[in-house]
């Protein structure tokens, strides 16, 4: 039995949480493989909206086990808050959540370092979510990090202290003033560590190896999106993990030949939060409308998301890097009412027309070339079958399928679980 992957193909917030929740009915295991609480995955059902940051989006179903893999970085304080809020809804998190011992911990000082680094960058800041993601992955690759399994060791508090002291010294190197009360932050942290300690720890590679042998169905859940990948995204305006398909192998301990379907998820337009290039960004009424109708505000930071037309050059790149086998198009409902829709099918770059992502996509280098398609007026949000979809929406979908050479299997027409149409 193979492991299927679900990945965001743009700059994040494609709707991964919603789709993982919808697909969980078909899987025995849902496993997050990278990122941390920079993620905000929104699920809606029974008129209630839930936002998950660390916990996989299969947690509301009783048929599946949820795994936080080794590639994830965990802030125990945020994890505890998530568990508490789920328990209010009577979700028995503890019985169906497993945590890899090899996942790294975000310390309070990682968050402070993130803030200091961003403040020191001034205008050149990444626009990080300030959750300590960059500094934690730096400690991981720098071989200084603290892992979940370490909290079972006798000398763990000393290990913590040594690293926190080093971080405090590092904060001093930045030429910015960061206000903090470490004592208070540490109180919260150590209290949350006890919540973490009460969870079940596993070696995810061994667990998943046995699960594959036992023919369990497994879905790996990505966070962020391909264009935020540390290697293939719009560096340096990226996150600090591999968000692309290969990240699922290293972030869970599954071999590449065990990967089955690669489900790629994208919005019918494009959004981005934080800094960095965005060739099809709109600064006009159309962009405003997308943001308003699509309620485009960050699920983690509440920041307004930048909006623009669908960028097929970037999407094709993401499809290639990930080996996407099936696509899912989200938020088509948000585009209802636009007479004409534009899709970027090429870039004007240094006097030439190109159809791939060049090394540098800063706006002074790139002018998008658009193909115009007819829009649809119908309200899609009440539709439940593919037969109801308007002809112009079908034309839009078929145009994308032809360009991307991958079928679009799911069309999402609203935030609720039920607003999901299979093709």
User: Which residues form the interface with ligand IMO (CB under 6 A)?
Assistant: 8, 11-13, 35, 38-41, 126-129, 131, 133-134, 223-225, 228, 237, 239, 273-274, 299
Nearer to Mg ion, 13 or 229 (CB): 13
Region near ligand GDP per CB under 6 A, out of 39-47, 71-79, 106-114, 360-368: 39-47
What's the rounded Cα separation, in Å, for the pair 244 and 246?
6
Distance CA 414, CA 280 (A): 23
- Which residues within the stretch 312-351 sit at the binding site for ligand GDP (CB under 6 A)? 330-331, 333-334
| CB of 15 vs Mg ion, minimal distance in Å | 8
Question: Could you tell me the smallest distance in angstroms from the CB atom of residue 52 to ligand IMO?
Answer: 9
Smallest separation (angstroms) from ligand IMO to the CB of 265: 10
Site residue total, Mg ion (CB under 5 A): 3
Residue among 44, 118, 221, 229 that touches ligand GDP (CB under 6 A): 44
CB of residue 157 to Mg ion, shortest distance in Å:
34
Residue 54 engages ligand GDP in binding (rule: CB under 6 A):
no
| Burial environment of residue 172 by CB neighbours within 10 A (0 to 12, 13 to 18, 19 or more) | exposed
| SS3 readout for 335-366 | HCCCCEEEEEEEEEECCEEECCCCCCCCCCCE
Considering beta carbons, is residue 17 or 390 the nearer one to ligand IMO?
A: 17
Among 15, 135, 233, 247, binds ligand GDP (CB under 6 A): 15
Cα separation, 275 vs 194, whole angstroms = 36
Chain position carrying tokens 């086998």: 325
If one counts every other C-beta atom within 10 angstroms of the C-beta of residue 113, the result is 24
For residue 235, what are the contacts with CB-CB under 8 A and spacing of at least 6? none
SS3 for 165?
Answer: helix
Helices marked H in 174-262 — which ranges?
182-197, 204-213, 246-252
Given 36, 37, 40, 69, the residue binding ligand GDP (CB under 6 A): 40
Residue with tokens 């959540």: 97
By CB under 6 A, tell whether 222 contacts ligand GDP: no
Q: How many residues bind ligand GDP (CB under 6 A)?
A: 24
Q: Does 294 bind Mg ion (CB under 5 A)?
A: no
Q: Return the DSSP state at 124.
A: G
Q: Does 56 bind ligand GDP (CB under 6 A)?
A: no
> Which residues sit opposite 399 in a β-bridge?
none
Out of 294, 308, 368, 390, point to the residue binding ligand GDP (CB under 6 A). Answer: 294
Residue with Cβ nearer Mg ion (43 or 93):
43
């Amino acid at each position: 039995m193979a492991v299927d992957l679900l990945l965001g193909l743009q700059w994040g917030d494609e709707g991964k949480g919603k789709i993982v929740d919808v697909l969980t009915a078909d899987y025995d295991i849902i496993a997050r493989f990278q990122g941390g609480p920079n993620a905000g995955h929104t699920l809606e059902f029974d008129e209630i909206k839930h936002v998950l940051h660390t916990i996989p989006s299969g947690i509301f179903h009783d048929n599946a086990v949820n795994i936080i893999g080794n590639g994830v970085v965990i802030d125990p304080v945020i994890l505890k808050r998530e568990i508490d809020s789920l328990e209010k809804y009577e979700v028995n998190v503890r019985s169906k959540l497993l945590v890899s011992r090899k996942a790294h911990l975000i310390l309070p000082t990682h968050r402070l370092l993130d803030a200091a680094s961003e403040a020191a960058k001034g205008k050149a800041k990444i626009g990080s979510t300030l959750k300590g993601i960059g500094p934690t992955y730096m400690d991981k690759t720098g071989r200084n990090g603290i892992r979940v399994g370490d909290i079972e060791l006798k000398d763990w508090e000393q290990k913590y202290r040594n690293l926190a002291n080093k971080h405090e010294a590092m904060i001093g190197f930045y030429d910015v003033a960061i206000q903090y009360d470490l004592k208070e932050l540490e109180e919260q942290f150590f209290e949350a560590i006890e919540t973490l300690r009460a969870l079940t720890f596993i070696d995810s590679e061994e667990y998943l190896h046995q699960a594959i042998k036992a023919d369990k169905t497994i879905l790996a859940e990505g966070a962020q999106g391909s264009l935020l990948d540390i290697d293939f995204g719009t560096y340096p305006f990226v996150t600090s993990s591999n968000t692309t398909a290969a990240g699922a192998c290293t972030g869970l301990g599954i071999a590449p030949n065990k990967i089955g379907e690669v489900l790629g998820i994208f919005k019918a337009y494009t959004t981005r939060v934080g800094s960095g290039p965005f060739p099809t960004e709109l600064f006009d009424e159309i962009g405003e409308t997308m943001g308003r109708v699509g309620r485009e505000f960050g699920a983690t930071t509440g920041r307004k998301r930048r909006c623009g037309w669908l960028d097929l050059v970037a999407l094709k790149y993401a499809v290639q890097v990930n080996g996407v086998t099936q696509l899912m198009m989200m938020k088509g409902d948000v585009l209802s009412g636009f007479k004409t829709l534009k899709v970027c099918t090429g870039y004007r770059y240094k006097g030439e027309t190109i159809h791939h992502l060049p090394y540098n996509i800063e706006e002074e280098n790139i002018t998008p070339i658009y193909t115009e398609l007819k829009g649809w007026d119908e309200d899609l949000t009440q539709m439940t079958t593919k037969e109801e979809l308007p002809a112009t929406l079908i034309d839009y979908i078929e145009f994308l399928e032809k360009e991307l050479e991958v079928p679009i299997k799911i069309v999402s027409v609203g935030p609720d679980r039920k607003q999901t149409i299979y093709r």
